[in-house]
Amino acid sequence: MKLIVGLGNPGRDYEHTRHNVGFQVVEELAERHRVTLKNYAKWKARAVKVPDVGDGVLLAEPTTFMNLSGWAVRELMSFHKLGPADLLVVYDDADLPLGRLRLRASGSAGGHNGLKSIIQELGTTELPRLRVGVGRQGGELRSHVLGRFDADERPQIDAAVKRAADAAEVFVKENILAAMNQYNAAPAADDDQA
């Protein structure tokens, strides 16, 4: 089984913010497979199993704040007896242009507190991740990532969420390298308008 974890912050105040794009990808996958995320207090996460994909996949969104995501991920992995290679973490990246995807098999947290928490809890940087570009504007980074997308950014980010969900499915059905080869290139101009 694989575990796809989308990172974000819980609560209505954070819905559809740049920082919650990981949640949007997990919700896109749940919608595609006609499943509904449910709250699990024991894992501090919303989660659902998708049995008909590969060897099965568990979709999850920690219900902790971003900087405490590692606890939920560790608990989910322990309960389901999964290793770091079975995990794909999906999260926002303000250093990537809006809509750009970047997959990696391992590496540092790169300043992202959610990923930093996961790395600390699991004790390894060897875990696949999918970054979704939310762009960076002038001003304070915190207010930018906690802000919502502008109306003119929405089509681009909606297309990126769909591509990120596609990339996650390639990760599940094949592996991280196949997903990297297919999705690390810049999207075609037509894809941005989808």
**85 DSSP assignment:** G
State both tokens at 122: 């699991």
Give the Cα separation of 175 and 85 in Å (integer): 9
How do residues 63-79 score in pLDDT, each as one tens digit?
999 999 999 999 999 99
What pLDDT, on the 0 to 100 scale, is given for residue 194?
42
What's this model's pTM, rounded to 2 decimal places?
A: 0.91
Alpha helices (H) along 18-153: 21-32, 69-79, 113-122, 141-145
Mark whether 19 is an active-site residue: yes
Q: Please give the share of the chain, as a percent, with pLDDT higher than 70.
A: 88
Query: Is the predicted pLDDT of residue 192 greater than 90, yes or no?
Result: no
Let me know: does 70 contact 121? Beta carbons within 8 Å: yes
Give the Cα separation of 67 and 13 in Å (integer): 17
How do residues 148-186 score in pLDDT, each as one tens digit?
667 888 899 999 999 999 999 999 999 999 999 999 977
State both tokens at 139: 């001003």
Beta strands of the chain (E only): which ranges?
2-6, 38-40, 45-50, 57-62, 87-93, 101-104, 129-133
Residues forming beta bridges with residue 89, ordered by sequence position: 5, 129
- 5 pLDDT band, cuts 50/70/90, is very high
Catalytic residue among 16, 19, 80, 144: 19
What domains are defined for the chain?
Answer: 2-192 (3.40.50.1470)
Give the Cα separation of 179 and 103 in Å (integer): 7
List Cβ neighbours of 96 (8 Å cut-off, separation of 6 or more). Answer: 102, 131, 132, 133, 134, 135
Give the Cα separation of 135 and 152 in Å (integer): 13
